[in-house]
Chains A and B, each alone.
Chain A
Amino acid sequence: MPLLLSYSLRNLQERKLTNLLTATGMALVVFVYAAVLMLDSGLKQTLVATGEDTNVIFVRRSAEVEIQSLIDRRQARIIESQPEIVIGAEGAPLVSKEVAVLIAQPRRKTRQASNLLIRGVGPAALAVRPQVRIAEGRMFRPGSNEIVIGRALAGRFEDVEIGSSLRFAQREWRIVGRFDARGSGFDSEIWGDSEQLMQSFRRDFFSSITVRLADRSGFDALKARLEADPRLTIEAKRERIFYEEQSRLLSGFIQVLGLTLSVMFSLGAVIGATITMYAAVASRMMEVGVLRALGFRRSRILIAFLVEALLLALIGWAFGILFASLMTQVKITTLNWTSLSELAFRFVLTPGIVLKSLVFALVMGFLGGFLPAVRAARMKIVDALRVA
């Protein structure tokens, strides 16, 4: 290790308590910053994973979300007969005509009611969405009062478990299975037979229609043709894009709130680092004087103290990101403002976040160390030496 670097490192060790406190301040900021980004990436990952690129979802034009959308049976028949749609094993096109409704269900712990999304799906639903599979129990029988629940719901709501029943829309619905949608937004839903659900909710409209394409490149032609069709009032989107858009509102909020918090906290951390580094410079005036006398240039002194501040930031970053990585064990459930239903997701730590938080920490260190380092570098040698 270069001598001047170990000089900086050992000086950090000298004033352990002060430096540890300063690094802790930085660690806290790094933690908040990383946690916010992790939350956001978890949310995006969950919602983006909900959609598939080969799937196309049709909703009513200008309906941002499924629950606002209405598609009548005549339009549904036109959509499902399009040539781009792949034909399944049973000879029928892979189409799921779906209805999405919200019901209020009390949470297990707080007893407070929260919105649950009930999705009525067609018989081909599992073929359209290969990422969804039954993990426990079995799929509901078509034409019955049976429903299946998403993996993320288990244990969170009253009576939402295999074997028990839910009462809504004047009927009892028996839970016969639990499905795993690989961490996607479907994991927070309840699925049943769409015809049965429409009947009991007394509606004759679908909310959305999802189809699987034979070839993902067929999307543009299909979209152009159907959106131009005067009989249809629908809009076509790639399923992945559709769900990605659902994350925007919440994601935007998380980012704005989180970044505001981070910046405010970082101000404190930078001031803390500045005070610490000023103290370090003040206590080492003599050493600065000696180094300069020995022939070290001003720029070297500047760099030495900046490096010290950056090392401090590096330590803070390491602790901060370590604590943040523990957050990946935490599951978050929150209301997705766009779909208005509860959504479960995790903190996800990506290499990008590790890198971003490192840059963030180093910027804090640089800002905190800059003024003290400049002071050290600008000192007159004789003045510095007289302090001894």
Chain B
Amino acid sequence: MTVLHLSEARTGEDVLIALSDVSKSYRRGAQIVPVLSRLTFDIRRKEFLALMGPSGSGKSTMLNLIAGIDSPDHGSIKVGGEDITLLPEAELADWRAANVGFIFQFYNLMPVLTALENVELPLTLTDLGRRERRDRAQFALGLVGLSDRVKHLPSELSGGQQQRVAIARAIVTDPTLLVADEPTGDLDRQSAKEVLEIMQRLNRDMGKTIVMVTHDHRAAAHAKRIMSLEKGDLSYLVEQRLE
């Protein structure tokens, strides 16, 4: 394990995400709570980054900004060269549909939809035919090893299985970027390991860029790099050598 300073990490030429001078604060009543201040850093293509740090340090906030579901007060966020902070609401929604896959701590599946339908859901925003959507959803479920659970409702699946359905939903549109906020936070160790191995595979074999927030060191160890956020500042970076 090598500890790198931020400046050294910026050497990568193939940058996917570039944050520059990003600030974000929340308003709580009359009070303004600064969360991120003047953050500048890049994430390379095909990166598998673990974002660590104490609770309340702004990890989720940063992930949300990168994923385009929240907007900064200041600064720019370029993804694949495009500044997503400039996109109007509706176009940003289309951009997310095309480019980002989400994995949440509590899986966040639609309780009334089957596993297959949950995976199919993002595809209803494309102009794929019904047949094609089914096939792709089926294929994605196969990738996470759940081909035999297509007809199950989320409530009929274990936590680990639900999270795998959620991963299938995140990759079914073949997005460049996967964001995962504490994806193993609610799982037992064995399920967590399975989920993390799937994510590693997605990164390694399918070239997905993954940003994962976690406070579990064992989980972070599956990433290629670890970044730590402390009171809104990126303090240091760890490069993980997997091989």
Contacts and interface: CB of A to CB of B under 8 A. Distances in A.
Interface of A: 2-4, 6-7, 10-11, 13-14, 286-287, 289-299, 380-382, 385, 388
A298 B112 contact: no
B172 to A, nearest CB: 10
Contact of A14 (B112, B120, B122, B125): B112
Contact of B98 (A7, A287, A295): A295
A293 B124 contact: no
B90 interface: yes
A3 B104 contact: no
Nearest to B106: A388
Nearest to A382: B70
A294 B96 contact: yes
Contacts of B111: 14, 287
Given A381-B69, A382-B64, A287 B104 contact: no
Contacts, number: 74
A296 B92 CA distance: 10
A310 B53 CA distance: 47
Contact of B110 (A287, A293, A295, A298): A287
B97 interface: yes
B112 A295 contact: no
Contacts of A380: 70
Contacts of A289: 108
Contacts of B89: 297-298
- Determine the main DSSP class of B at the interface with A: helix
B102 interface: yes
B108 A286 contact: yes
Q: Please list the 10 inter-chain residue pairs (A to B) with the smallest Cβ-Cβ separation, ordered nearest first.
A: A295-B97, A10-B112, A381-B69, A295-B96, A297-B93, A290-B108, A294-B122, A382-B70, A295-B93, A3-B124
- Of B98, B102, B108, B125, chain A has the most CB atoms within 10 Å of the CB of B108
B110 A294 contact: no
B117 interface: yes
Nearest to A12: B112
Interface residues of B, number: 28
A385 B93 CA distance: 16
B121 interface: yes
B110 A292 contact: no
Given A3-B113, A290-B110, A295-B94, 18 more contacts: A2-B124, A3-B121, A11-B112, A289-B108, A293-B67, A293-B69, A293-B96, A294-B96, A294-B169, A295-B95, A296-B125, A297-B89, A297-B94, A299-B90, A381-B64, A382-B64, A382-B69, A388-B104
B90 A294 contact: no
A297 B111 CA distance: 21
A297 B90 CA distance: 6
Nearest to B90: A297
Contacts of B94: 295, 297
Contacts of A299: 90
B124 A4 contact: yes
A296 B110 CA distance: 14
Contact of B97 (A10, A14, A294): A294
Contacts of A294: 96-97, 102, 121-122, 125, 169
B173 to A, nearest CB: 8
Nearest to A295: B97
B122 A3 contact: no
Nearest to A388: B106
A297 B96 CA distance: 10
Interface string B140-166: 000000000000000000000000000
A6 B121 CA distance: 11
Nearest to B122: A294
A295 B125 contact: yes
A286 B104 CA distance: 11
A127 B168 CA distance: 82
